Structure 1
Amino acid sequence: MWRKVLAGAGFALQPWRTTAYRRSSSVSSAVNSILLRSLKEHYLEVSKMTPPPKVSPPSPFTIVKGAIDGSGPVLKRTYGDEEISIYVMRLANIIPGGGNDDDDGINQLFLHVDVSKPGQNDSLHFLCGLYPDAVGIHSVSMRPKLQSSGFLVVPSKYNGPVFEDLDERMRDALHGYIAERGVNESLFPFLQAWLYVKDHRNLMRWFKSVGSLINERKDASEN
């Protein structure tokens, strides 16, 4: 008898479950459509943004091929037997939300300057703040030499003294060292424009990728 009651109850509940599923699918489809429309509108809006005037890097630095779509060095040059590699990022990439409410985030860039020599396992690494009219060194360390691809290697041994703890004469000498290799404020106009283009591409790629993923899920649910 209990089997008949349970079977009857199960049969009675089945249409309700089907209705709820259909209603849920309908709501989900509507939400997807709204989101897809919003993504498309933003994509078109961003695609119409006027890029900054084209700026060339200061000689003798050259742009690393494929850098705009990767996370490796942006600029390279040789200085005697040394190879100088320049990485760049914004303040907001290091401190989330940093510099978004004023001009500091726009007018302050962070450089990773890597100086390597053939036959050496380690390279000399400078973390610098780059401004329209100045360069400031935050730290100096020895790091494993960079590979041909990928981003910077995090040091696994003693990272060197705190830069501000060095005496003024040594700090000035280290500033002179990178200045002699072309690391100065003349890099700012190019790197600022380059980051704008990179951020623009990444944003458009994000809108497109999210839209494609949602569209695929929508198509799959309709089949």
Structure 2
Amino acid sequence: MSIRAAARRPWCSLLTRRFSSSSSAAVDSLILRSLKDHYHEISRMTPPPKVNPPSPFSIVKGALDRDGPVLCGAYKDEEISISVMRLSNIVPPGADDGDDSINQLFLHVDVSKPSRAESLHFLCGLYPDALGIHSVCLRPKVDPNAASASSKSKAVSKYQGRVFQELDQKLRDAFHIFIEARGVNEKLFPFLQAWLYVKDHRNLMRWFKSVGTFINEQKSA
């Protein structure tokens, strides 16, 4: 390895020197101690105050333990479902977004009718004080518990309509009124922000525990 290459990866040579003469058991013990310390540190973090979702939404059962819709609700004969993710889960690592990665959420909002095989899908950006629409399209209804790869590919390959910002201003305003009438607005932010914290906290705790279990079983073997 050249000097320049070594400088780019100083931790490689450092770890090699530190552990080249160490036994596998000692390395496993070091990992387990570190995982345990982090686990206890995270477990002592104070969760945010409990926030209930605003009307007309309720929490989808089991949403904390899987990907998919977080909230569901109804408007007249329509069903509404909302999935959420943070901007920080979308932008490339190291991108300079300031507080946007924390204070901007992305919502996938599906509005469906019993008589229709398609749902009206909105991709929205949600801030503490505002909600903006990025795109609107019709796509086949997808059952999150039994979605096939073919149905997903059909939803992606179908014509998605014009870019939202290229639509007439009156039409864009009308779409905002449409989803706001169904309860999709900035009032969702406090609940979804707190919900994501709890989900991330639970996933991190589960990760520390599952990796520790794997290392411990390997050590015992």
Contact 2:88–2:102 (CA<8 Å) still a contact in 1?
no
Structure 2 partner of 1:11: none
Residue 36 of structure 1 deviates from its aligned partner by 0.8
Q: Secondary structure at the match of 1:56?
A: coil
* Cα shift at 1:135: 0.3
Q: Residues 150 and 91 from structure 1, CA distance in 2 versus in 1: closer, same or farther, beyond 3 angstroms?
A: farther
- Cα distance in 2 for residues equivalent to 1:28 and 1:101: 41
1:200 pairs with 2:201 = yes
Q: How does 1:21-32 map to 2 (within 5 A)?
A: 27-32=23-28
Q: CA RMSD for the aligned pairs? A: 2.1
Structure 2 runs not aligned, ≥5 long? 1-18
Q: Aligned partners of 2:186 and 2:205: how far apart in 1?
A: 30
User: Percent of pairs identical after alignment?
Assistant: 69
In structure 2, C-alpha distance between the alignment counterparts of 1:205 and 1:99, rounded to whole Å: 28
Residue-by-residue CA offset, 1:168-211 (whole Å, 9 max, x unaligned) = 11111111111111100000000000000000000000001111
Mapped to 1, the partners of 2:22 and 2:127 lie a distance apart of: 53
Matches within 5 A, 1:143-154: 143-149=139-145, 153=152, 154=155
Distance 2:53 2:174 in 1: 25
Change (3 A) 1:99 1:199: farther
* Count of matched residue positions in the alignment of Structure 1 and Structure 2: 198
Q: Which position in structure 2 is the counterpart of 1:113?
A: 109
Determine helix, strand or coil for the equivalent of 2:72: strand
Q: CA deviation at 1:128?
A: 0.2
Q: Normalising by the residue count of structure 1, what TM-score does the alignment of the two structures yield? A: 0.83
Q: TM-score, normalised by structure 2?
A: 0.84
Select 2:35's aligned residue among 27, 36, 39: 39
Deviation at 1:155, TM superposition (A): 2.0
The one-letter code sitting in structure 1 at the alignment partner of 2:34 is S
Q: How does 1:46-195 map to 2 (within 5 A)?
A: 46-97=42-93, 102-149=98-145, 153=152, 154-195=155-196
What SS does the corresponding residue of 1:175 show, helix, strand or coil?
helix
Quote the Cα distance in structure 2 between the aligned partners of 1:174 and 1:99.
Answer: 31
In structure 1, distance between residues paired with 2:96 and 2:60: 28
What is the aligned partner in structure 1 of residue 6 from structure 2?
Answer: none
Instruction: Give the residue type in structure 2 aligned to 1:184.
Output: N
Task: Verify the 8 A CA contact 1:131 1:188 in the aligned structure 2.
Answer: yes
